Amino acid sequence: MVRNFFDIDVLTRFVDQSSGLKIKLILLFSGCLSALSFAPFYFFPTYMITLPFLLVVAIRSSNRLNAFFNGYIFGIGHFFAGLYWIGNSFAVEPSLPDWAGFIMVAVLAAYLAVFIGVVTCGIKYFHHKHDLKKHLVSIVLTFVVLWSVGEWLRGILFTGFPWNLSGYIFGFSDIMLQSTAVWGIYGLTIIVLTLTFIPFLTLEKRYQISAPVIGAFIVLFLYLYGANRIPEQLEYNEDVNLRIVQANIKQKDKWPIDNWGKNLITYMDMSEAEQSSGPVHIIWPETAIIYSLSEENLRRQLISKILPPEGGTVFTGFPRRQYDPEGRKVYNSLIAIDENGEIEGIYDKSHLVPFGEYIPSFIRTIILSLGLDKIFTGGQGFSHGPGPSTLNIDGLPPVGVLICYEVIFPGQVVNVKERPDWLLNITNDAWYGDSTGPHQHLLQTRVRSIEEGIPIIRSAGTGISAVIDSYGRVLNKAPLNKKMVINSRLPKEIEDRTFYSMLKEWTFACIIIIYVFANIVVCRRSGA
């Protein structure tokens, strides 16, 4: 009788009998395949297949170093496939070949893959003497903990890059994301990883009933909690009228100086296209205007003419220049302009994109000496702003501003001393074309609104602009590559602060501790 291939013994034998090259090629392909679990595909089964295979390979590796490299190869495929869209940004630079961008993606993937290599090395370190079948649950729990902690470290080390965390796999459902209000995206990552290994556990006869029951209980709990949390009726700030303008200006048409005036007129014409009674607060995206508006009073007055007689505010992104004894500094900024052309508030982006908006100091000397600075930042680095702040604008509830990349960092999106009632996220995803990147960016924005319990208004140059309520639901949006205006009222924040907004990653730490203690108990019962 031929044994079913979906058996731990058969899978282990396949790994043991395959050549090292064959296994590494399969790992590379598996890493690429795993990226299909993320937005906009959400094909969760790829995670359920590829991560258990990676676990088996790690356990059957000859030593810790070999286990590290096996995980590292998987990680290169995982991150290259998940982040390929970054390479599109180089296609809009006429001085650089298109393929240069994908070399940079490979370099980024090679760095991020280290985190997965450490996970597989850790599995081999903790379980090098353990039989896979006998200690299956313990080994899976160790993998879940190490992978989860690895993603958390990836989100904070060297300024952090918490993109495509495993918890985002549930982004297909508003309901299934609601638990992030309790334990954040890192906590949901642990839950998603646990569910990932349920089918793998059922390959062992002892767990063919208990594992599916546990999995069903987790899914049911997440669903019932989420469905009960989302209200049937949404409340709005009745007197706050917003107009989000998506001009769909391509990246190559944005920066040439001959287009600055034409682009400004485009935004102004679209903003005046639809009038409404009462004040209107108009929102333009990141660096929509290239002029340094903080220095140009006449141009601010010109822009203010688009506001109705009742007043309002124009929010727009722009590059702000500042001169001091150290020389000229440039900030990626947002300015709020009132009906008289006066400045109501300015926010300077603080969490800049490494190599995209600035060159980290530890490597700057090398890059400048090789003349490579223009590849990374176009020759102009931005300066860091002071950090999250809340703007108080007439006619509006207090607002926190996030420029592009800043919205992806859990627990770092609001001023804790002066919490805003809503968040304004302006971004420019035109760099990335019609790729998976803008969809993944929007998803992360939605999760921040659930974690903090406050709505987010998102304005993107070519999409995806959106009105997102305090439960992460997209109430209205402008798709990619579409010229569109969104008129909307401002959704209200939830009455009580979320558990996550108060405790941040301490909830994640508590779950990790619970898993570690559970693992110790399981190990002792297995005779380890």
Q: Each residue of 408-417: pLDDT tens digit?
A: 999 999 999 9
Q: In this structure, is residue 510 part of a structural domain?
A: no
- Examine the pLDDT at 379 and tell me if it is beyond 50: no
* pLDDT: which is higher, 528 or 271: 271
Q: pTM of whole model > 0.85?
A: yes
Tokens (6 digits) for 433: 């074309």
Q: Could you tell me which residues come within 8 angstroms of residue 360 by beta carbon, excluding any fewer than 6 positions away?
A: 158, 159, 354
Question: Closest Cα partner for 447 from 236, 225, 217, 162?
Answer: 162
Q: In this structure, is residue 512 part of a structural domain?
A: no
Question: Within this chain, do residues 213 and 245 fall inside the same structural domain, yes or no?
Answer: no
* pLDDT: which is higher, 429 or 316: 316
CA diameter of the chain: 85
User: What is the share, in percent, of the chain residues with pLDDT greater than 90?
Assistant: 81
The helix-helix angle for 136-154 and 506-525 (nearest 10°) equals: 160
The single-letter code of the amino acid at 115 is: F
Radius of gyration of the chain (CA): 25
Mean pLDDT of 276-304: 93
How far is the CA of 421 from the CAs of 391, 392, 456, in angstroms? 10, 10, 10
pLDDT in tens, 206-221: 999 999 999 999 999 9
Residue 289 is part of which domain span? 238-350+385-503
Query: What is the model's pLDDT at position 6?
Result: 64
Q: In this structure, is residue 484 part of a structural domain?
A: yes
Strand partners, 330: 321
How far is the CA of 465 from the CAs of 73, 116, 209, 230, 248, in angstroms? 36, 33, 45, 22, 11
Tokens (6 digits) for 13: 């034998």
Alpha carbon distance 116, 76 (integer Å): 9
* pLDDT: which is higher, 36 or 129: 36
Mean pLDDT of 283-288: 96
Question: Closest Cα partner for 47 from 139, 160, 164, 149?
Answer: 164
Within 13 Å of residue 267, how many CA atoms lie on the same side as its CB? 32
Question: Closest Cα partner for 448 from 478, 468, 426?
Answer: 468
Question: Within this chain, do residues 179 and 67 fall inside the same structural domain, yes or no?
Answer: yes
CATH of the domain at 310: 3.60.110.10
Question: Within this chain, do residues 218 and 283 fall inside the same structural domain, yes or no?
Answer: no
Mean pLDDT of 283-294: 96
Question: Within this chain, do residues 225 and 329 fall inside the same structural domain, yes or no?
Answer: no
Alpha carbon distance 324, 321 (integer Å): 10
Question: Within this chain, do residues 203 and 153 fall inside the same structural domain, yes or no?
Answer: yes
Show which of 230, 258, 279 is a domain's final residue: 230
Question: Within this chain, do residues 182 and 253 fall inside the same structural domain, yes or no?
Answer: no
Question: Within this chain, do residues 223 and 282 fall inside the same structural domain, yes or no?
Answer: no
The single-letter code of the amino acid at 384 is: H
Cβ(289)–Cβ(315) under 8 Å?
A: no
pLDDT in tens, 157-208: 999 999 999 999 999 999 999 999 999 999 999 999 999 999 999 999 999 9
Tokens 């124009």 belong to residue: 314
Question: Within this chain, do residues 315 and 210 fall inside the same structural domain, yes or no?
Answer: no
Question: Within this chain, do residues 193 and 299 fall inside the same structural domain, yes or no?
Answer: no
Question: Within this chain, do residues 340 and 465 fall inside the same structural domain, yes or no?
Answer: yes
Number of domains in the chain: 2
Query: What is the model's pLDDT at position 3?
Result: 45
Alpha carbon distance 427, 406 (integer Å): 10
Q: In this structure, is residue 406 part of a structural domain?
A: yes
Query: What is the model's pLDDT at position 2?
Result: 40
Q: In this structure, is residue 454 part of a structural domain?
A: yes
Q: Could you tell me which residues come within 8 angstroms of residue 244 by beta carbon, excluding any fewer than 6 positions away?
A: 283, 457, 458, 459, 465, 467, 478, 485, 486, 488
pLDDT in tens, 225-252: 999 999 989 999 988 999 999 999 988 8
Show which of 206, 230, 254 is a domain's final residue: 230
Question: Within this chain, do residues 68 and 161 fall inside the same structural domain, yes or no?
Answer: yes
Averaged pLDDT of the chain = 92
Question: Within this chain, do residues 199 and 69 fall inside the same structural domain, yes or no?
Answer: yes
Q: In this structure, is residue 70 part of a structural domain?
A: yes
Tokens (6 digits) for 283: 């929102």
pLDDT in tens, 464-510: 999 999 999 999 999 999 999 999 999 999 999 999 999 999 999 99
Tokens (6 digits) for 146: 């190490």
Query: What is the model's pLDDT at position 358?
Result: 78
Q: In this structure, is residue 514 part of a structural domain?
A: no
Q: In this structure, is residue 366 part of a structural domain?
A: no
